[in-house]
Amino acid sequence: MHLYTDTRCLEHRVPNGHPERPERLAAVLNHLKACGFIDDHPMLAPEQAKDVDIQRAHSLAHVKDITTFATNDNLEADKTSMVPVDPDTWMSQHSLTAARLAAGAVCNGIDDLISGRTQRVFCAVRPPGHHAERDAAMGFCLFNSIAIGALKALASPTIERVAILDFDVHHGNGTVDIFTDNPAVMVCSSFQHPHYPNRKFDVRRDHLIHTPLAAGTAGTEFRRQIEADWLPALERHAPELILVSAGFDAHQRDPLAQLNLVEDDYAWITDLIVSTANQYSEGRVISTLEGGYDLQALTQSVETHLAHLAPAVSR
């Protein structure tokens, strides 16, 4: 299993009190060191995503807009300055680099899977990506890393169908937006509803699988709905590669939502993903960190996810 991360992702600054803070990723990396996971899975440094990869998912206008924010005179002169892209989404001096590294980690992981260097990849990166639409940054997200990776995979002559499985508590509106008219990519997204971002959840296509969950939903009902919605769709699609938007903010401790999942539920859904990958995708899975804002819940849930994602021979 390959584990991609870069300390420059910690340099993406946000205002004090912002949920998507550098301490999230720092806590994850420190926990993976403390529990010994990194001893068996050394950290790999990603490359920054190339323009050609980013522009498969995002319009040139969007890339130019993000670059314009990044070259703001105040940011270039002062590493402590920040500018808002929208009320929730901020950029600082190193944010563009961090976003390119986050997307680049997924792209590097795609190369690893297609070349056969590994079966499983996890990208411990920030900022997250699944809210970024083709033409807009939002919801803490600048570039949609998972979408960029999926389109890079489809650019390979050996891959014709992929699936993106998103179990973040917030709907993956950006991923849906980018793939609305691309049936080669099945997008399965479970999410609290009604809840932020309240966008794209009603876009109906055979390859877009929406699984809305009422506030208060716990593991039993979550598992029932995932099995009912995702498994028949994945059987129909038979993806050759599975990508995962791994958000852990559906945990009962998370402050931004009201679902009641626990670590056992993340073990269960990871096992389901691995089983599906073994059936259709030669075991190939790449997962990237999305949400999760309670540090204890986040770190323990990531450990659980990785323990079940890593091939058995590596445990």
With helix as H, strand as E and coil as C, how does the chain read?
Answer: CEEEECHHHHHCCCCCCCCCCHHHHHHHHHHHHHCCHHHHCCEECCCCCCHHHHHHHCCHHHHHHHHHHHCCHHHHHCCCCEEEEECCEEEECCHHHHHHHHHHHHHHHHHHHHHCCCCEEEEECCCCCCCCECCECECCECCCHHHHHHHHHHCCCCCCCEEEEECCCCCCHHHHHHHCCCCCEEEEEEEECCCCCCCCCCCCCCCEEEEEECCCCEHHHHHHHHHHHHHHHHHHHCCCEEEEEECCCCECCCCCCCCEECHHHHHHHHHHHHHHHHHHCCCCEEEEECCCCCHHHHHHHHHHHHHHHCCHHHC
- pTM of structure: 0.97
pLDDT score at 315:
35
- How many CB atoms are located within 10 Å of the residue 296 CB? 11
Residue 181 tokens read as 């008219």
Residue 78 has pLDDT above 90, yes or no: no
> Tens digit of pLDDT for each residue in 98-116?
999 999 999 999 999 999 9
Which residues neighbour 194 within 8 Å (Cβ) at sequence distance 6 or greater? none
Name the band, by pLDDT with cuts 50, 70 and 90, for residue 314: very low
Under 8 Å between Cβ of 122 and 270 = no
Distance CA 226, CA 214 (A): 14
Distance CA 187, CA 260 (A): 23
Give the mean pLDDT of 128-149: 98
pLDDT score at 313:
41
Domains of the chain: 2-314 (3.40.800.20)
> Tens digit of pLDDT for each residue in 17-65?
999 999 999 999 999 999 999 999 999 999 999 999 999 999 999 999 9
Chain centroid to CA 312? 23
